[in-house]
Structure 1
Amino acid sequence: MQNTVTIGKQAEQYAYQLLLQQGLQIIEQNWYCRQGEIDLIAQTNDTLIFIEVRYRTRSDYGNGAESVHYHKRRKIISCARYYIHTHPAVEKCMIRFDVFSMSRDSAGEFSSHWIQDAFQT
């Protein structure tokens, strides 16, 4: 059985590939700052997208998207503000916060649900 860190990294890579296939340009992966971490930062046209990838093995406590609670959203928003502050080239971009919810079926295959504009600042 794989540990949660390994599975989480696999889920992020899966999300990364799917987002590339959808035409997004991934500009950062696992971007860290003092406020926390953003799993993926992507850009499409004039929109900068901050993406939280959530993997769930069981849905007893809700799906991955439901696990992005108020405090996690505040942390992501804080990181996004810091990213924009330290990257002046993206200051004029529209901002969007997405959640990429992942799980595995009984065969071990990933299934995903991409929630665009999942929350607002």
Structure 2
Amino acid sequence: MTAQPTPQQRGNEAEDLALAYLQAAGLVLIARNWRCRLGEIDLIMQHHQTLVFVEVRYRRSARYGGAMASITPAKQRKLSLTAQYYLQRLSHTPPCRFDAVLIQGQQAPIWLQNIFF
């Protein structure tokens, strides 16, 4: 009998899938699991001239609202503060946006661009 993957393993697999999906769409990886004292950003990518902060959300099913429902206003605030901290380290501020890659069960990833401001 094979062991069930841990939540951390499932999260890593979802990020791997999201990364491959976005790279196939032409985005370039800048950083993965970028952390600071304020939080973590799953993927930071370049899309043409835009810096993209990507939140990857995996849910086994749509039960309890699914993957998108898990990006709560509190999570959005935390991502925004973390991104601001990241941007302070740069010599200039490029155009930016927040995207999400939603993965539910065995369905294909759903890429949502500009999910909040």
**Shorter-chain TM-score tier:** over 0.9
Name the TM-score, length of structure 2 as normaliser: 0.92
How many pairs align? Answer: 114
Contact (CA 8 Å) 2:21, 2:109: kept in 1 or not?
Answer: no
1:31 to 10, 29, 34: 34
Residue identity opposite 2:15 in structure 1:
E
3-state SS of 2:108 partner: strand
- Specify which structure has the higher proportion of strand: 1
Moved runs in structure 1, 4+ residues, more than 6 A? none
Q: Whole-Å Cα distance in 1 between the matches of residues 68 and 54 of structure 2?
A: 11
Partner AA of 1:119 in structure 2: F
Deviation at 1:111, TM superposition (A): 2.1
Where structure 2 has 5 or more consecutive residues not aligned to the other structure, the ranges are none
* TM-score when normalising by structure 1: 0.89
Q: CA RMSD in A?
A: 1.1
Residue number among 97, 106, 116 corresponding to 2:113 in the alignment: 116
Structure 1 residue ranges without an equivalent (≥5): none
Alignment of 1:23-102 (within 5 A): 23-89=26-92, 91=93, 93-102=94-103
For 1:19-76, what per-residue CA distance to the aligned partner results, in whole angstroms no more than 9, with x for missing partners?
A: 1110001100000011000000001222110000000012111121221000000000
